[in-house]
């Protein structure tokens, strides 16, 4: 087994901070409280910082390095269907699509949440309904993300949660690497 550095400290701190902020607001904090609003602002600020880091950070953090082509997505689906085990240096193509989904969804939740605090949209039902639908979509996406991480970790033998804690992927010697 060999170890490869993949996630820098900023990416790891962003990831776990986003997990904490979204979980707090979705499950624990009263949605009518000031704390809910401030956590929402913090989540949007985290996503904005991550977008900036995706433009200027190290290679594995950059969006240019992990936005997948349709061919890469199909290759990963083929790998899964044929049980071929390959490790990706950074995010898998399907994982990268999930990241884009979650980042966009977090920004949309933040936007609709902010809209509900303005005079122009105060009490407007479609804004609140959209906010709640986006939160539900994010919750479903998070469940799918966690399930996929567990699945890919078992399928490939690469412990992905450990990599998001330590910043290093431990790749079994019998697995081919995909850049």
Q: pLDDT tens for residues 55-111?
A: 999 988 898 887 899 999 999 999 999 999 998 888 899 999 999 999 999 999 999
Q: How many CA atoms lie within 13 A of 11 on its CB side?
A: 24
Q: Region 31-52: what's the mean pLDDT?
A: 97
Please name the residues in contact with 125: beta carbons below 8 A apart, sequence gap of 6 or more.
none
Specify the pLDDT at position 151: 95
- Residue 179 in this model has a pLDDT that exceeds 80: no
CA 96 distance to own-chain centroid: 8
Specify the pLDDT at position 65: 82
- In whole angstroms, give the CA distance from residue 109 to residue 93: 24
The pTM score is 0.92
Q: Give the CATH architecture of domain 2-9+11-172.
A: Up-down Bundle (1.20)
Task: Look at the block and give the residue holding tokens 């913090």.
Answer: 42
Q: pLDDT tens for residues 110-152?
A: 999 999 999 999 999 999 999 999 999 999 999 999 999 999 9
3-state secondary structure of 165: helix
């Amino acid at each position: 087994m060999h170890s490869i550095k993949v996630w820098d400290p900023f990416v790891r701190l962003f990831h776990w901070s986003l997990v904490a902020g979204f979980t707090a607001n979705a499950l624990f904090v009263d949605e009518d409280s000031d704390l809910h609003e401030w956590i929402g602002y913090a989540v949007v600020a985290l996503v904005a910082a991550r977008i900036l880091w995706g433009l200027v950070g190290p290679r594995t953090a950059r969006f240019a390095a992990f936005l997948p082509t349709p061919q890469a997505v199909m290759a990963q689906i083929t790998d899964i269907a044929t049980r071929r085990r390959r490790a990706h240096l950074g995010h898998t193509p399907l994982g990268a699509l999930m990241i884009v989904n979650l980042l966009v969804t977090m920004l949309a939740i933040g936007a609709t949440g902010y809209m509900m605090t303005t005079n122009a949209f105060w009490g407007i039902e479609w804004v609140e309904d959209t906010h709640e639908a986006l939160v539900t979509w994010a919750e479903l996406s998070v469940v799918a993300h966690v399930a996929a991480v567990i699945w890919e970790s078992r399928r490939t033998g690469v412990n992905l949660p450990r990599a998001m804690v330590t910043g290093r992927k431990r790749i079994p010697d019998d697995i081919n690497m995909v850049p």
